[in-house]
Structure 1
């Protein structure tokens, strides 16, 4: 695969809920990409998730390693406060990394090439399967796009023509 991996602990807002880790892959799914996964969201159960836990992932066309920690930073800050569901937007006071003005994310399906590269199986979570985890993708967005999703809904935003994995792209709204 050729990717370099790294694990880092991210201090959670509520340490009693368990640890949060960032799993970073540089050069995954290709040498132009970086991919990051959270570990720790699935330690907190939400009834609307059913029998599965959830974790977040990000894949971007960038060399800025900070992007790979964004899913775990979101989990560390917001675990236990929200459902983390597809179409949900989350904002941040400042940009996530220095190379980009993006300060929000939208949650959706994970980037398919990254999931295939780490041999994760994507399927519906079967009932009563212990330790099943649904991987959700987070995609960086601009504050104007955040407002658009809040006003028009996530479906309207997904239908626009935008590169979901380019953190240097201009706003589409």
Structure 2
């Protein structure tokens, strides 16, 4: 098992998130590509930030490292206007598949062959600032102790579902060109804007 993972680290993560959100999370496990990399979990908040929305965060990406991250770990966050809680698990499924091979940088677009959930045609995501503000944007899991094997600071990266035509637009025209268009970032049932 990954030596960065510890039950108290995950507990701290959930306590911090529950406190920031003011709700209790529902946790689900997602099978990782490599069992030795440690667990991948979806931390889900139904009705957050308001009724009719679902918010999901990952746990497990910060157990890996990447040169782009400097001394921080990363986790992903999605917020959509939907009653379908399956959306909250999309980032965790991405982490389970791409952890260790993808940097998950803001401005990056990632695609999948099939739609993420049954009730939407979206099969890609755009990474950016998270939709929900997470205090300073960093979550400190160190408990005041500095351990070089365990990044204490975890940066939250936002995940926004997009259509494959929008993914192609981002790849050809750039993140800023797409982000500046008018589109509902919270509606996974919307029509493509390009």
Q: State the TM-score, normalizing by the size of structure 1.
A: 0.90
Q: 1:32 to 1:4 in 2, by over 3 A?
A: farther
| Structure 1 position 47, deviation (Å) | 1.5
Q: 1:159 to 1:124 in 2, by over 3 A?
A: farther
Please point out which of 138, 143, 152 is paired with 2:159.
Answer: 138
| Structure 1 position 124, deviation (Å) | 10
Please point out which of 150, 157, 173 is paired with 1:152.
Answer: 173
| Structure 2 stretches lacking a partner, 5+ long | 1-20, 141-145
Describe the SS at the equivalent of 1:54: strand
Aligned to 2:9: none
User: What per-residue deviation string (whole Å, max 9, x for no partner) do you get for residues 77-136 of structure 1?
Assistant: 000111110110110111111111000000000013xx45xxx432599xx795100000
The answer to whether the 8 A contact 1:4-1:27 is kept is no
Aligned to 1:26: 46
| Structure 1 position 14, deviation (Å) | 1.1
| Structure 1 stretches lacking a partner, 5+ long | none
Moved over 4 A (4+): 1-4
Indicate the RMSD between aligned Cα atoms, in angstroms: 2.0
Alignment of 1:87-102 (within 5 A): 87-102=107-122
User: What per-residue deviation string (whole Å, max 9, x for no partner) do you get for residues 148-168 of structure 1?
Assistant: 011111111101000111001
Distance 2:61 2:138 in 1: 19
The answer to whether the 8 A contact 2:44-2:54 is kept is yes
Distance 2:88 2:139 in 1: 25
Distance 2:39 2:127 in 1: 22
Q: 1:8 to 1:124 in 2, by over 3 A?
A: closer
User: What per-residue deviation string (whole Å, max 9, x for no partner) do you get for residues 24-44 of structure 1?
Assistant: 110011012100000000000
Aligned to 1:122: 137
Q: State the TM-score, normalizing by the size of structure 2.
A: 0.80
